[in-house]
């Protein structure tokens, strides 16, 4: 007898509820592969969890209580940098999975494909950084991390336009701004391997911002809204920080985020 196929929603939920870091990486890449190969049904029969499972050893602090990182020179500060980057990429796996699982039914199969591909990229980024931490004699969970990224998902769980506006088009776009300077600092330390990891992440994040922008514009077209005005309004409502430069205008434009979107509210 032929076994019943899994729904894409069940597969995504299972990955979100996988807490151990390496297991989540493998599971995220597997669900993206299974979807790409047509092994999962476009069925949304389970709800996404309010928050994903993370490693039990990971200490979460409010952003304001995080220890300040020093300059790059010492091994301790290099570990702190790579640990912070590991946490960003780890949470980004869940942000992309939740995007596909929470909003995929209403947004369609291309939306699911795009964000499961993003999740697979983020999983690969995390794996590269975890290996980097290992080479420095550390590991993900050895230092505290903050919960600010997931709070952005929680605050926008009611509206796909708000989620797209904040996660890909603010938080990931911020990565386009700050990663080039970090890359140059890492390279100046003689760490060419680290620079290659950051270049790979930067190249992929442009595509991730572009996916967010594409689907945001599609939502606005469906709702009869002006994309720039709608984005600015959603950012002012749902983003608690400030949009601060300097901005990587060329990378943002390549990601479908022209300067007239953000310059007026920065």
Q: What is the pLDDT of residue 1?
A: 38
pTM for the model: 0.95
Q: Look at residue 94 and tell me whether its pLDDT is greater than 80.
A: yes
Give tens-digit pLDDT for 186-239: 999 999 999 999 999 999 999 999 999 999 999 999 999 999 999 999 999 999
Enumerate residues 6+ apart whose C-beta is below 8 A from 79: 133, 136, 137, 138, 142, 143
Query: Mean pLDDT across the chain, nearest whole number?
Result: 94
Tokens representing 124 are 């690969």
- Dist CA 34 CA 120 (whole Å): 11
Q: Which residue has the higher pLDDT, 149 or 52?
A: 52
Q: Look at residue 138 and tell me whether its pLDDT is greater than 90.
A: yes
Secondary structure, 3-state, the chain: CCCCCCEHHHHHHHHHCCCCHHHHHHHHHHHHHHHHCCCCECCCCCCCCCCCCCCCCCCEECHHHCCCCCCCCCHHHHHHHHHHHHHHHHHHHHHHHHHHHHHHHHHCHHHHHHHHHHHHHHHHHHHHHHHHHHHCCCCCCCCCEECHHHHHHHHCCCCHHHHHHHHHHHHHHHHHHHHHHHHHHHHHCCCHHHHHHHHHHHHHHHHHHHHHHHHHHHHHHHHCCCHHHHHHHHHHHHCCCCCCCCCCHHHHHHCCCCHHHHHHHC
């Amino acid at each position: 007898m032929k076994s019943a196929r899994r729904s894409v929603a069940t597969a995504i939920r299972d990955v979100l509820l996988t807490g151990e870091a390496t297991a989540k990486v493998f599971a995220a890449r597997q669900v993206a592969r299974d979807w790409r190969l047509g092994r999962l049904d476009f069925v949304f029969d389970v709800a996404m969890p309010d928050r994903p499972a993370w490693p039990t050893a990971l200490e979460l602090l409010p952003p304001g209580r995080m220890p300040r990182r020093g300059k790059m020179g010492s091994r301790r500060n290099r570990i702190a940098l790579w640990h912070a980057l590991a946490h960003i990429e780890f949470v980004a796996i869940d942000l992309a999975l939740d995007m596909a699982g929470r909003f995929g039914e209403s947004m369609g199969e291309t939306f699911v494909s795009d964000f499961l591909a993003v999740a697979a990229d983020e999983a690969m980024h995390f794996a590269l950084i975890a290996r980097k931490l290992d080479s420095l004699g550390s590991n993900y969970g050895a230092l505290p991390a903050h919960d600010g990224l997931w709070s952005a998902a929680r605050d926008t769980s009611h509206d796909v336009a708000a989620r797209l506006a904040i996660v890909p088009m603010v938080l990931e776009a911020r990565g386009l701004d700050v990663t080039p300077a970090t890359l140059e600092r890492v390279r100046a330390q003689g760490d060419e391997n680290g620079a290659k990891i950051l270049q790979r992440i930067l190249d992929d994040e442009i595509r991730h911002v572009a996916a967010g922008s594409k689907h945001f514009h599609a939502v606005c077209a469906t709702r009869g809204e002006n994309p720039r005005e709608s984005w600015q309004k959603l950012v002012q409502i749902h983003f608690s920080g400030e949009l601060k430069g300097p901005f990587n205008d060329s990378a943002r434009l390549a990601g479908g985020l022209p300067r007239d979107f953000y310059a007026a509210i920065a």
